[in-house]
Amino acid sequence: MIRTPNSAALAAAVTLALAVAVTAQQNAAAQQDGRAAAGKQTVTAYTHARILPGGKPAIADGVLVVGNGKVLAVGDATLRIPDGAVVVDCSGKTITPGLIDAAFAGGASANDLNEQSEEVTPALRVLDSLDPEAPAFARARRDGVTTVHVMPGTRNVIGGLGCVVKTAGDPTSMIVKQDASLRITLGAEPSMGNRSIGGGPPESMYYRRPTTRMGVVWEVRRAFYDAKEALQMTQGAPNASPPSEGVEILTRVLQGKLTAVTTARSEQDLRTALRIADEFGYETVIDEAQDAYLVADELAQKKATVLLGAPSAEQVGGTAGSDGASPRSGTVRALAERSVRVVVTTGTNALALPLVREAMFANRNGLGPQQALDAVTVEPARLLGIDDRTGRLAAGLDADFVIWSTDPLDPAAVAESVHIDGNPAFTR
């Protein structure tokens, strides 16, 4: 069960590490120093912690063994700790998988989240705009978030491709998934800035559709219509010239190869999102979903996954506030009762709290503690298709974990250290 690396090298590394690493913090420092060389071979066992592995009940007196950037083993006190492993006593602490924010709004300058020259820009990648040293990432790390899903902004009808990145690490290696999702935005936001006649110079590129909710839906429908047609043509004639990149991406959605994320806040937009998806036969994840309590049954029936933005908020802040949604604290419970899969996110609401506090509020508002924690770990990992790498604490997965001062759903909880791929990304 435990993959032991070359034992001689291990022993050498361990002796070295033991000499240096007495406490957890020193160990962390040592790992950081030797991140390239020695860090790879160091095996560390975190013992006597309460471990919430994700998707499974808590282990009261657990052991987490980490090495080579991966989780080597998780178990209770009976787990055999590999010889020579550095042992870190975590009595009184709680260890969870690194949190995953499935709708993370930071990480890039706001102007670069949307290419405003067109409304439908499926081929654009938000990854191109990310700054790995943005303060938003530092805040996320401090709050125990190790992986985020960043999507283009909500000013375009079809904004482009979202990506999944770790919140720390080398800029290239932190990318977990390049093309993770396609964002579609319904509601009032995509119309903002577009002008009707008399609203600006007629030659401006902003003199265009949509200026209404109807127009927004029309843009979505046209885009998917084109994609569907392209799909049928290529299927009929294999030698036909390949469709443009944008259309090709939409066909991937139609074929179920790419996750569509539809941002819809108010009830009408939520229903529209489900209807359009039905119409073209693709499945969509509903993002934000402030009014989801009004369409909970339909969501359940469609087996849709909901990215619930900022369950703590009792109103919607920022430009999205004009969308007409009326968030309620009871939403999480209403969805959970109908077995709708809920992923808790920070999303676009300007009033959102750190992700771990959002999970705490989900718990307060009626989600069970394990469910609430799963909603920021296991569930987003599954949704984003990265559950083979992170989201749980299990052997073989990335060593993304957080050592909390107490139960993470306690308002007093702080992340004492956050590890990404086994490296300390934040230490208090």
Partner 1 sequence: MMRIPRRSPLLPGALLVCVLLPGAQAAAQDVLVQAHRLVLAPDSVLTDSAILVRDGKVAYVGADIPAEARSAARRVDYGDATITPGFVVATSTLGRDADFGETAVAFTPDLRAIEAFDPWQDELKLLPALGVTAIGLAPSARNVAGGIGGLVKPGAAQGRIAEPEAFVGFSLAADARNPERMPTSLMGAKEMLREAFDTAKTGVEIGPDLAVLRQVMAGTRRAVVHADTYAELNAALELSQQFGFQPVLVGAREAAKVLPRLATVGAAVVLDTLDPEGRLATLRLPAQLAEAGVPFCFAGRSDRLRLSAALAVRNGLDRRTALAALTRTPAQLLGLQDRVGALRQGCAADFVVHHGDLLDLGARHVATWIDGRCVFGDEPQQARTATPNTTSAAGDRR
Partner 2 sequence: MNPKLLLAAILPMVAVSANCQDLVAVKAKKILTITGPTVEDGVVLIQNGRITKVAKAADVEIPWEAKVIDASDKVVMPTWVLAHSEGGMRPSNESMQNVPWLTVRDAIDPASGYFENALRNGVGTVHVMAGNRTLLAGTGMVVRPAGRTVEDMTVAANTGMKLSLLARNGSRLQQIRELRRAIAEIREYLADFERKKAEFAKEQEAGAIPKDKKFEEEIDRKKQAAVDFVEKKLKGWLYVPSYAELDEALRMTQELDLQLVLGPNIDEAKALLSKLKSPVVLDDTLEYFETDEETQKEVLHCTARLCADAGVPFALSLGQGGQTSYPWWQLGTCVRNGIDRKTALEALTVVPARLLGLEEQVGSLAEGKLGNLQILTGDPFAATTWVETVVLEGEVVYQRKDDPRLKYLFDEAAKAAAPADAPAPAPKAPEGEQTGGDNKGSEGSGEGN
Contact partner, 128, from partner 1, partner 2, none, Cβ < 5-8 Å per class: partner 1
Does position 248 interact with partner 1 (CB under 8 A)? The reply is no
Q: What is the pairing mode between strands 341-345 and 43-51?
A: unpaired
Indicate whether 196 belongs to the interface with partner 1 (CB under 8 A).
no
CB of 106 to partner 2, least distance (A): 12
Among the listed ranges 109-117, 298-306, 336-344, 352-360, the one in contact with partner 1 (CB under 8 A) is: 109-117
Q: Cβ distance 103 to 29 under 8 Å? A: no
Out of 177, 364, 370, 423, name the contact with partner 2 by CB under 8 A: 364
Question: Shortest gap between Cβ of 415 and partner 1 (angstroms)?
Answer: 25
129 binds partner 1 (CB under 8 A): yes
Q: Per-residue string for binding with partner 2, 333-352, x by CB under 8 A? A: xx--xx------------x-
372 burial (CB, 10 Å; 0-12 / 13-18 / 19+) is buried
Place of tokens 């073989």: 396
Q: Count of residues binding partner 1 (CB under 8 A)?
A: 26
Using rule CB under 8 A, residue 298 touches partner 2: yes
35 touches partner 1 (CB under 8 A): no
CA distance 164 to 66: 23
Q: In angstroms, give the least distance from the CB of 360 to partner 2.
A: 5
SS (H, E, C) 245-313: HHHHHHHHHHCCCCEEEEEECCHHHHHHHHHHHHHHCCCEEEEECCCHHHCHHHHHHHCCEEEEECCCC
What string of H, E and C letters represents the secondary structure of 100-127?
A: EEEEECCCCCHHHHCCCCCCECCCCEHH
Contact positions with partner 2 (CB under 8 A) in 388-417? 405, 409-414
Residue 113 found at the interface with partner 1 (CB under 8 A): yes
Helix, strand, coil % in the chain, rounded to nearest 5: 35, 25, 45
Residues that bind partner 2 in the complex, under the rule CB under 8 A = 135, 138-139, 142, 293-298, 312, 314-315, 324, 326, 328-331, 333-334, 337-338, 351, 353, 357, 360-361, 363-366, 405, 409-414
